[in-house]
Amino acid sequence: MLPEGKLKDLLRICHCFVIAYLIRCARMTMNQDAFKEEFKMTDQQTPVLERPVQVQTPPPAAPSGPRKKKRRNKIKMIVGLVITAAVIAGIAFALWYFVFREDKTELGDAMTDTVQIGSIEVKVEGSGMAKANKSATVTPGTGTILELYVKEGDQVTEGQPLYRMDDTAAREAVKAAQETVDDCQKQLQAVHEKIGELTIKAPHAGNLREVADLKVGDTVNEGDTIATIVNDTKLRISLYYSYAYENSIKVGQTAQISIPSIMDSRTGTVEKINKVRFVSPEGATHFEVVFVLDNPGTLTEGMEASASLTAADGTPIYPYQNGKLEFYETTVVKAKASGPVESFNLLNYGDVKAGQVLAQLGAKDSDQEISTKEEALKAAQEKLKEANEELNKYNGVSPIAGTVLSCSLTEGGGVESGQGISIADTSQMTVEISVDERNAQYVKVGMMVNLDQYGTPYMGVVQSVSLTASGENGVASIPAVVKVDNFDGSMIPGTYVSYSFVASQSDNCLTVPVAAVKYVSFNNVKLPDSMDAPPAETGGEDGTIDGETLPDDGAMIDGEILPDDGGDMIIDGDMSISGGAVAIPQRYSGGGVSARKLGVVVMPAPGGSVGGGMSGGMSGSSSDGETGTIVFVKSKEAPANAILEPDPAWECPEGFWAVPVEIGLADTTRVEIKRGLNEGDEVFIGYATQSADSWGG
């Protein structure tokens, strides 16, 4: 089939010949008068010498009209035949040159390479800003530097003094700010206490007596009595004993409490001994003993009772006189704040528990008051913080351990705006990098990163990876931080550092030049029963990084993950990638031999099988609409996995066989072959011509 370009050239040549022929014919059919005038003018243009003319009478001549006309017709016929012959010759030459002539010199010799075992790794590269892992700037206050303790290049420790200034005024400011904070805290506490006192609770368990007559909405003023609570679960009695028994009575000693009104006694205990001096009318001196006893519920305050004890020698001990029982605890509950009654639980002789709410009073504008006090306290605390920071400026200390990078202060000199001391811990540096979104999946915390700054190599470790991407010009990137040791201080903060890390790698695998692989369509092509080339011992495996398998949704070239969605992208500024394929120009050089231009070699995304899975299911059948990768293998006989009837559009070189292959990773020069080839196979990579044009021109 004639190529489209050659067919157009042929039509142009034929068109030129036809136009020339028509123009010439038009000239030959001009009117006879014009043709005659042309010949007359030609005759008259012949120059003659002037000489005397002898007048003679010429003899009569025969008529010449028909003879001249016959001569002109003959010339016209000869010219027409010549033009026709030229047109026919031109058409014949064009057909021979563009259609029937075999262009053997244009292709040149087939160039080959061999399948080799090697390694392929794809790297992600870029640059980032180096920063000290820790840094701080100390700025002095207003005044004069009385003493300066450091200079540039000094190593300092955390908390080490840097300079001293007169801080009298700053200390006074801190003291005043602290007093304001204390006062605001007291005011806020008082508001909370006041609000808390609106809830009236029982101070202890007991029985209500003398409760106030309250209704919801009544106003209770501070100091009003709400109720009296008596703890009648226990009773107390105080009796006096002679000092003669001073050493015979002790706290905790058991006594029998006799109650005449019930004609019975209860067991009590000595709770307290008070060494008072009570003199009886008989002139005897006595001390007080307080007893406590449980109330079974039948005893009450005011009952007469007595208590008898037994001395260590068994002698009974009696009090000077009987006493009266009292409730163990009696409390008058009064309101400590004013407010309207919102609820109450007050009943005479009602039993209550400790902490039980007796009445709830309401408060007016309490929330607003609390908010106002809290805002005042917050403002006071902020002023105190500022005052302390200002005080610290007058007696500067190093906030971190590190190196003094700069010091613009002078001892005895005043402090101007912008002056201070800059300190950084340069023993560890961080490099802030930004990784393209297509490669971000390979950046993991803890992975190693190669760094280089002006030829000095470093080894870094990924410290953190941001979870938020940033976009610019339609490209998103993920920020990450790389930590690197800088013990010798050779890495300078604020400078750029180049970085690279392996995104994916395949070791001990079969490889071929990128020019050997072609991406083709398998429409109406009968595929082999198997794409394995016996024996198929490649030793290669899928590339991994940090234990994770390279995804099957895109190939990578120079650290770029190639899309698999039909989109186009640019590599190195001139070759495009379309449909998840890598487009690489086939160029060769050396020895005066240059490669003929073959267009581009297209490779599918690594990790995917040829034609959507070139095995079992597709073997021995045509696969309309399927695409895949092939390599032309040089062999005298067809390999077992060769396509016996390849598509003519593939332009399989003579002596080579089209073999389907499954490819893996690829770099700028070689491609991993997972299936289809063996080590040492000779593969086609292009045609070489003896031309200085690297494209075979």
Q: Which CATH superfamily is domain 423-502 in?
A: Efflux pump adaptor protein, beta barrel domain (2.40.30.170)
Cβ burial of 359 (10 Å; 0-12, 13-18, 19+) is buried
- Asked if the peptide bond before residue 534 counts as cis, ω within 30 degrees of 0, the response is no
Q: Quick one: CA dihedral 644, 645, 650, 652, positive or negative?
A: positive
**Mean pLDDT throughout 352-366?**
85
Q: How far apart are the first and last CA of the chain?
A: 23
Side-chain-facing half-sphere of 260: CA atoms under 13 Å: 8
10-24, 197-211, 517-531, 671-685: the lowest-pLDDT one: 10-24
Q: Tell me, what amino acid is at 444? A: K
Percentage of residues in the chain having pLDDT higher than 70: 72
**Which region among 44-58, 102-116, 286-300, 662-676 has the lowest average model confidence (pLDDT)?**
44-58
588: pLDDT strictly greater than 80: no
Out of 37-46, 428-437, 597-606, 609-618, the most confident range is 428-437
pLDDT score for 434: 86
Q: Please determine, for residue 53, whether its predicted confidence score (pLDDT) is greater than 80.
A: no
Residue 294 confidence class, pLDDT cut points 50, 70, 90: very high
pLDDT band at 597 (very low <50, low <70, confident <90, very high): very low
Asked if 673 and 95 count as a contact pair (C-beta separation under 8 A), the reply is no
Same CATH fold assignment for domains 140-165+395-419 and 423-502: no
pTM: 0.40
Write down the pLDDT at residue 583. Answer: 34
For the record, the structure tokens of 26 come out as 């038009």
Cβ-based burial of 368 (10 A; exposed 0-12, middle 13-18, buried ≥19) = exposed
* E strands in 579-677: 582-585, 594-595, 600-603, 627-634, 656-666, 670-675
For 61, list phi and psi in degrees, rounded to 5. Answer: -110, 155
pLDDT at 292 over 90: yes
Q: Give the integer Cα–Cα distance in Å for 11 and 22.
A: 17
Q: What is the pLDDT of residue 379?
A: 94
Phi, psi angles (nearest 5°) of residue 179: -65, -40
Whether pLDDT at 547 is above 50 = no
| pLDDT given for residue 83 in this prediction | 76
pLDDT at residue 545, rounded to an integer: 38
Contact 428, 483 (CB under 8 A): yes
Q: Is the pLDDT of residue 61 over 90?
A: no
Residue type, 360: Q
The top-level CATH class assigned to 140-165+395-419 is mainly beta
Mean pLDDT over the full length of the chain: 77
Strands (E), 345-455: 351-352, 357-361, 402-407, 421-436, 448-453
Q: What is the mean pLDDT of residues 106-110?
A: 77
Domain range list for the chain:
1-27+70-101, 140-165+395-419, 201-361, 423-502, 509-689
What is residue 509's predicted lDDT score, i.e. its pLDDT? 93
Whole-number pLDDT of residue 46: 42
Rounded to an integer, the average pLDDT of 160-186 is 92
Does the structure show a pLDDT above 70 at 286? Answer: yes
* Alpha carbon 615 to its chain's center: 40
Task: Please state the φ and ψ torsions of residue 379, each to the nearest 5 degrees.
Answer: -65, -40
pLDDT, tens only, 200-257: 999 988 899 899 998 998 988 888 999 999 988 899 999 999 999 999 999 999 999 9
Model confidence at 276: pLDDT above 70 = yes
pLDDT of residue 599: 30
Q: Comparing 653 with 9, which gets the higher pLDDT?
A: 653
The pLDDT of residue 556 is above 60: no
Q: Is pLDDT of 123 > 50?
A: yes
More confident residue, 32 or 185: 185
